[in-house]
Amino acid sequence: MDIYNLTTVTQFILIGLSDLPEVRYLLFVVFAIIYQVTLVGNGAIVLAIGTEKKLHTPMYYFLVNLSLLDIFCPSATVPKMLENLLTKHHSISFFGCALQLYFLVALAGTEVFLLAVMAYDRYVAICFPLRYMLIMTKVRSVQLTAGTWAAGFLNSLLHTVSTFRLSFCKSNRVNQYYCDIPSVVALSCSSTYVAEMLVLVVGGILGISAFLATFLSYIYIISTILKIQSVEGKHKAFSTCASHLLVVCLFYGTAIFTYIRPSSSPHSPARDRLISMVYGVITPMLNPMIYSLKNMEVKEALRRLLCPRACLQPL
């Protein structure tokens, strides 16, 4: 149903995969399992680090925040997506759409900034190991983390207000399974210049700055590791940042593939939405697996959390 009367725009229709009804039950099962694995995996990381005193360091403090983001971010979209897959009611209220967009952009933006902070933490740890505890104090860690959350949510507030101040009269059908800035702005019948420029300028500056901070940190990290003489020393230094480097590559790789790649075909928008669905939920699920497999301290903490009695028994 399209809406042309400005005074009656009270809801949007999330198209999702409504044009592929033959696979919606299969997709519901797949995404429900992925979502549950995401919640359990990231929740286990938070509990394991919280209960292991020796992991109460800046690196693991940032990891807890990353795991919380990987819980909150899919929770902003997946429950509604599962409801739409299971039922024929794909509507979302105007306020609900604005709220979903706000939290999605805020949490995704916060994760971009947090990955940059985590890269800086590894840069200090590897390039300035003797000064690490003096630079990355508990107060500094809290300040950096609070800054990432504040920047993400303030940035999202700016974009959400500029997006929903537009007039909507073309259609109320959102060509996505969630409310996102491009898909909502595309429905506007008023000038979208300000909203689009805010995304390009503000979002571009913040996003590129965070990416460059992450990229340059790893350039210095790799350069420092290559200067280490012993193979054992190189391996030990690289092992401290390998997990985070994999997470960074996964995050930016999937983002580039999802948003920057050309559409698969003008006649297959459903395929593009399916790809967006997969890459929107796969990264938060894989992050705890990467850290639990590549980081021995996290692996040991998870083992103690999941089997406390067995782990206390002498080998």
Top pLDDT among 86 and 209 is at 209
pLDDT single digits (tens) 164-185: 998 888 788 888 888 989 889 9
Top pLDDT among 44 and 254 is at 44
Mean pLDDT score across all residues of the chain: 85
Given a cut of 90, whether residue 120 has pLDDT beyond it is yes
How many other CB atoms sit within 10 Å of the CB of residue 198?
A: 18
Q: Give the whole-angstrom CA distance, residue 220 versus residue 205.
A: 22
The neighbouring-strand residues paired with 208 are: none
Q: Give the whole-angstrom CA distance, residue 307 versus residue 315.
A: 14
Given a cut of 90, whether residue 65 has pLDDT beyond it is yes
Q: Give the whole-angstrom CA distance, residue 294 versus residue 304.
A: 17
Q: Going by C-beta distance under 8 Å and a sequence separation of 6 or more, which residues neighbour residue 294?
A: 239, 242, 243, 246
The token pair at 66 is: 């990353």
Cα–Cα–Cα angle for 202, 205, 209, rounded to 5 degrees = 145
Architecture category of domain 11-306 in CATH: Up-down Bundle (1.20)
HSE-CB of 121 using CA atoms within 13 angstroms: 25
Given a cut of 50, whether residue 61 has pLDDT beyond it is yes
- Check: CB of residue 160 under 8 Å from CB of residue 105: yes
Q: Going by C-beta distance under 8 Å and a sequence separation of 6 or more, which residues neighbour residue 283?
A: 70, 250, 251, 254
Q: Give the whole-angstrom CA distance, residue 311 versus residue 315.
A: 9
Average pLDDT over residues 107-129: 94
* SS3 label, residue 49: helix
pLDDT of residue 290: 86
Q: Which residue has the tokens 């399974």?
A: 177
The neighbouring-strand residues paired with 12 are: 92
Ordered by start, the domain boundaries in the chain are: 11-306
Given a cut of 50, whether residue 283 has pLDDT beyond it is yes
The sign one gets for the Cα dihedral 106, 135, 133, 122 is positive
| DSSP, residue by residue, 256-273 | HHHHTSPPS-TT-HHHHH
Angle between the 269-294 and 24-51 helix axes, to the nearest 10 degrees? 30
pLDDT band for 15, please (50, 70, 90 cuts): confident
Average pLDDT over residues 80-100: 88
pLDDT band for 245, please (50, 70, 90 cuts): confident
Burial of 171 (0-12, 13-18, 19+ CB in 10 A): middle
The token pair at 44 is: 């286990």
Nearest-CA neighbor of 159 among 175, 190, 181, 189? 181
Given a cut of 70, whether residue 271 has pLDDT beyond it is no
Angle between the 58-75 and 296-306 helix axes, to the nearest 10 degrees? 70
Element containing residue 14 per DSSP (H, E) = strand 11-14
Cα distance from N-terminal residue to C-terminal residue, the chain: 66
pTM, two decimal places = 0.89
What 8-state DSSP symbol labels residue 77?
Answer: T
C-alpha separations of 273 from 105, 198, 263, 286 in Å: 18, 25, 10, 20
Average pLDDT over residues 100-126: 94
pLDDT band for 6, please (50, 70, 90 cuts): very low
Q: Backbone phi, then psi, for 301, in 5-degree steps?
A: -65, -40
How big is the chain by its Cα radius of gyration, in Å?
A: 22
